[in-house]
Chains A and B, each alone.
Chain A
Amino acid sequence: MNFGKQLKEGVITNNPVLVQILGMCPTLAVSTSLFNGLGMGICATLVLICSNVVISLLRNIIPNKVRIAAFIVIIAGFVTCIDLLLKAFVPALSESLGVFIPLIVVNCIILGRAEAFAYKNGPVVSALDGLTQGIGFTVALTILSAAREFIGAGKFGGGLIDVSNGFRIVLGGADGIQVLPEGVGASLITQPAGGFLSLGIFIAVVTFLLRKSEEKAAKKEATK
């Protein structure tokens, strides 16, 4: 068990969004502001860790034939918890993510990890796997959100950073920092069409970089 290696896998070489191409719906839909992206990432990570631990603990009890249904019920239970907690403590996030909070249930990343990892491994490793894959999802989502917000509206940290009355971090409702002058941004990028475009370009860039580093590693091997 090597946390550093697992973390590198989750965030870079086996990133759930950018390499495994899972969880596209929330990635595209909520990556419009830093607040939404980060919030969605953290919620999904929490659900992923909890469901991974529980599924891993129950892995010897759940019969093979009904495992998918059992996974879905466990995941749905945790999603309901998160949904209620958000409504109580961070209502602004609950409102801006809307239908995509209950839709964490059908997020392929969570079901995918349950099936591919938690059902076969012990609870501690599974929790770490959930954490690292969740961090990978959160990082990809946060970068995409920040990029879309910056290109689309010329802002940074919408919903999260309030500068109207000194620098403050708030949970929802803030305007963010206006980096570029008003009206300079390409507002298309914050629209649905821009979501597809920016995610496509993001994945292509990551594929390019990964291939470059692989080639470099192969060259190093060869010269040895």
Chain B
Amino acid sequence: MEMLTSIFAISLGAILTNNFVLSQFLGICPFMGVSKKIDTALGMGAAVTFVMGIASLVTFFIQHLILEPMGLEYMQTVAFILVIASLVQFIEMFLQKSVPSLYTALGVFLPLITTNCAVLGVSINNVSYGYSLIESVVYGVTGGLGFMLAIVLFASIRERLEFADCPKSFEGIPLAMVTAGLMALAFMGFSGLQVW
């Protein structure tokens, strides 16, 4: 029972109250770059969720089975980024061979994920929060879902903004930033949400 409540609290935090993009500023680059259309935003969101889940799982083992027993915690950054980079490459090859339909759906977004700070961020946070294996994976997956929620909402707003009349200097990124600011403001409303 305790396990369930902790999982529920982590999910709620990762998706709403402490959303990766809108309150922790992780994964802003794809959030700004790949949010012009809802379809691509959905694809990116799905790819990030997938990779974040697997990365949480793998980096948990790296941290607890290799780095900690050998006293190599200071190599965390190097080890994690290497593992994530090769993991992304591996997932790409695996999907291309065995699940071609998923590969074509995620295709172009997979390589971009290596430099997505949300993936490295979730792995480092898992360690610094001291999460267990299940908690880590739940945090990774729900963090990805939170990212997906934010980017899909953002893309649907941006599709309409394309035709909005605005001062010339605000066109493009500045307007998108202000929009994201208003979304973050709306998400701040969730911050009072504490079930336990």
A positions within 8 Å CB-CB of B: 21-22, 24-26, 28-29, 68-69, 72-73, 76-77, 79-80, 83-84, 99, 102-103, 105-108, 111, 188, 191-197, 199-201, 203-205, 207-208, 211
**CB pair A196 B184 closer than 8 Å:** yes
Cβ of B143 to closest chain A Cβ, rounded Å: 13
User: What does DSSP make chain B's interface, helix, strand, loop or mixed?
Assistant: helix
Provide the residues of chain A in CB contact with B178, threshold 8 Å: 196-197, 200-201
**CB pair A24 B184 closer than 8 Å:** no
**CB pair B77 A83 closer than 8 Å:** yes
Provide the residues of chain B in CB contact with A21, threshold 8 Å: 32, 173
Q: How far is the CA of A84 from the CA of B115 in the complex (A)?
A: 22
Q: How far is the CA of A26 from the CA of B169 in the complex (A)?
A: 23
Cβ of A157 to closest chain B Cβ, rounded Å: 23
User: Given A25-B117, A108-B115 in contact, is the A199-B177 Cβ separation under 8 Å?
Assistant: yes
B174 partner, pick from A22, A191, A207, beta carbons under 8 A: A207
**CB pair A25 B76 closer than 8 Å:** no
Provide the residues of chain B in CB contact with A207, threshold 8 Å: 169, 174
- Which partner residue on chain A sits nearest B86 by CB separation? A69
Cβ of A70 to closest chain B Cβ, rounded Å: 11
B164 in the interface (beta carbon within 8 A): no
Q: How many residues of B contact A (CB 8 A)?
A: 45
Q: How far is the CA of A36 from the CA of B76 in the complex (A)?
A: 23
**CB pair B169 A205 closer than 8 Å:** yes
- Which partner residue on chain B sits nearest A22 by CB separation? B29
Given contacts A72-B114, A103-B120, A192-B184, 18 further A-B contacts (CB under 8 A): A24-B32, A28-B28, A73-B78, A76-B81, A80-B77, A102-B76, A102-B77, A103-B117, A106-B116, A106-B120, A194-B181, A195-B181, A196-B184, A200-B176, A200-B180, A203-B177, A204-B175, A207-B174
B57 in the interface (beta carbon within 8 A): no
**CB pair A24 B28 closer than 8 Å:** yes
Provide the residues of chain B in CB contact with A69, threshold 8 Å: 82, 85-86
Q: How far is the CA of A208 from the CA of B168 in the complex (A)?
A: 8
Provide the residues of chain A in CB contact with B24, threshold 8 Å: 29, 192
User: What does DSSP make chain A's interface, helix, strand, loop or mixed?
Assistant: helix
**CB pair B115 A111 closer than 8 Å:** yes
11 A-B residue pairs with CB within 8 Å: A25-B27, A84-B74, A99-B124, A102-B124, A103-B124, A105-B81, A108-B29, A193-B185, A193-B188, A196-B178, A196-B181
**CB pair A29 B25 closer than 8 Å:** yes
**CB pair B25 A195 closer than 8 Å:** yes
Cβ of B14 to closest chain A Cβ, rounded Å: 15
0/1 string, B149-187, CB within 8 A of A gives 1: 000000000000000000111100111111011101101
B181 partner, pick from A29, A111, A193, beta carbons under 8 A: A193
B positions within 8 Å CB-CB of A: 22-29, 32, 74-78, 80-82, 85-86, 114-117, 120-121, 124-125, 128, 167-170, 173-178, 180-182, 184-185, 187-188
Cβ of A83 to closest chain B Cβ, rounded Å: 7
A204 partner, pick from B32, B120, B170, B181, beta carbons under 8 A: B170
Provide the residues of chain A in CB contact with B115, threshold 8 Å: 106, 108, 111
Q: How far is the CA of A200 from the CA of B136 in the complex (A)?
A: 34
Provide the residues of chain B in CB contact with A208, threshold 8 Å: 169
Q: How far is the CA of A108 from the CA of B112 in the complex (A)?
A: 11
Provide the residues of chain A in CB contact with B170, threshold 8 Å: 200, 204
**CB pair B77 A76 closer than 8 Å:** yes
**CB pair B169 A25 closer than 8 Å:** no
**CB pair A72 B81 closer than 8 Å:** yes
**CB pair A204 B169 closer than 8 Å:** yes
Provide the residues of chain A in CB contact with B180, threshold 8 Å: 196, 200
Provide the residues of chain B in CB contact with A193, threshold 8 Å: 22, 181-182, 184-185, 187-188
**CB pair B188 A204 closer than 8 Å:** no
